[in-house]
Structure 1
């Protein structure tokens, strides 16, 4: 019987606090960071496609979102997702190994994952295919008439922050939130990695059959990088907002695929880097 404990999203540690009032020891909550191996299986054949560092929550969504974002699977191709019980996986590692079984008798070709690779919690673009591959498999604009009032965007950061439960305990996690056009928060995912939080969010939509997300807004708690934009583009999300700055590649990708990219969304201001006409600003 497998009795190995399942890792949780937080871990405890003894720390020494030094402040102006003195020194004292206490216990503290840390955001858990552990590896997760993603295996792809079909027709009796299994292959490891990635190992990523993540916070152990919503692991199946993470696997589904990662594979979709990399162009490995399409919605509807997943038959099942489960923690691995293969004999080569020791009991203590089974909750860190996820097998995604596909319909069909053969594994797909993996041009964008031409080698097994490790992604850290900070880097989501490692091992991805070229931008040309992204152009070949995706339309160049979201199929939507979505427009968003500026007032709606300004509410998003506080709504997201209020739902960051694990961040409230640890102070060490990124978050991604999915909003409807009227600013209703429909889902939040947290992780030590920005890209993992987005993969979990999009993976939930993959498994629920809700893609493409043409009528939604993605909000991330940190900066907007290339890998965040790639995942948003593959999910059909037309508006991406970030608390911090975008990178130059993120702006280039948003411009090419006609995604509205908003940065520095804080308090009463924000910057629009691409497709500004989707944001309706009241004139004084």
Structure 2
């Protein structure tokens, strides 16, 4: 498996003291991951190495290409090498189980996915607004305000790579009690979510009813979309929401919480689920 962090040189300047200090620093690794179905490329995304199978599986599920984890028969890292002849583990090749097939065509993109955005370069807005198979609006989830307020700190306590680098996002899937069931980190906020969905799908089938998606980043459109595709009825974000994220959450009946920093948070859709 590739490195999650690496050491780089750094020169730190202090304007008040008028000096500088040269010392190494630890940063998060960012490398491309190509996901292939057999020999055919599906997508390439920039990610932090690690949990690549979760990322590949979660991406296929949140894009609607697959409906269940057991539709995948095998996943393996291809033996690609860098210019020094060392394995990079930057290609995951999967095969489908007998009788399984892709339920959607891979989304057309004008460029490769970056770690900053999961839907950048999409061919059309209609393509972005993928319809979920799940009725998240009908989910009977209820959340205690104290549980909601405590989720960001609980997520922060399980971010070892962020602790070392300050350069990665985290996502977690939590039960209504606040227990974090799965946590993953990545330089890309959408990748972190895909890793969580992929990992969780190994133990339970979609939809992930009565659960909460917690993210260390802002509440962007792609985060809410991935929640809808996985059947998650609530999203809690540390950062701000975007207008399109609020629109989609309202349309899908997802409880969208943003600016979550204990003891306060703001709810932008379906506040009726938050009750003592």
2:74 aligned counterpart, secondary structure: strand
Aligned alpha-carbon RMSD (Å): 2.4
**Equivalent residue number for residue 264 of structure 1:** 259
Task: Check whether the contact 1:12–1:30 (CA below 8 A) recurs between aligned residues.
Answer: yes
Q: CA deviation at 1:9?
A: 0.7
**Equivalent residue number for residue 51 of structure 1:** 44
Q: Does 1:32 align with 2:29?
A: yes
For residues 31-81 of structure 1, give each alpha carbon's deviation from its aligned partner in whole angstroms, at most 9, with x where no partner exists. Answer: 10000000013xxxx310100000001000000011111111120211111
Task: Check whether the contact 2:139–2:209 (CA below 8 A) recurs between aligned residues.
Answer: yes
**Equivalent residue number for residue 89 of structure 2:** 95
Task: Check whether the contact 2:64–2:103 (CA below 8 A) recurs between aligned residues.
Answer: no
**Equivalent residue number for residue 80 of structure 1:** 74
Q: CA deviation at 1:266?
A: 0.8
Which consecutive aligned stretches of 4+ in structure 1 deviate over 6 angstroms post-superposition? Answer: none
Task: Check whether the contact 1:219–1:241 (CA below 8 A) recurs between aligned residues.
Answer: yes
Task: Check whether the contact 2:136–2:232 (CA below 8 A) recurs between aligned residues.
Answer: no
Q: CA deviation at 1:111?
A: 2.7
For residues 156-212 of structure 1, give each alpha carbon's deviation from its aligned partner in whole angstroms, at most 9, with x where no partner exists. Answer: 111111111000000111111111111111221111111000000001122333422
**Equivalent residue number for residue 3 of structure 1:** none
1:119 aligned counterpart, secondary structure: coil
Task: Check whether the contact 1:142–1:214 (CA below 8 A) recurs between aligned residues.
Answer: no
Query: CA–CA distance in 2 between the matches of 1:95 and 1:272?
Result: 41
Aligned equivalent of 1:201, options 193, 196, 219: 196
For residues 146-165 of structure 1, give each alpha carbon's deviation from its aligned partner in whole angstroms, at most 9, with x where no partner exists. Answer: 10010111111111111110
Q: Give the length in aligned residue pairs.
A: 270
TM-score by length of 2: 0.90
Query: CA–CA distance in 2 between the matches of 1:205 and 1:114?
Result: 27
5+ long unaligned stretches in structure 2: none
5+ long unaligned stretches in structure 1: 1-5
Q: CA deviation at 1:106?
A: 7.7
Task: Check whether the contact 1:35–1:96 (CA below 8 A) recurs between aligned residues.
Answer: yes
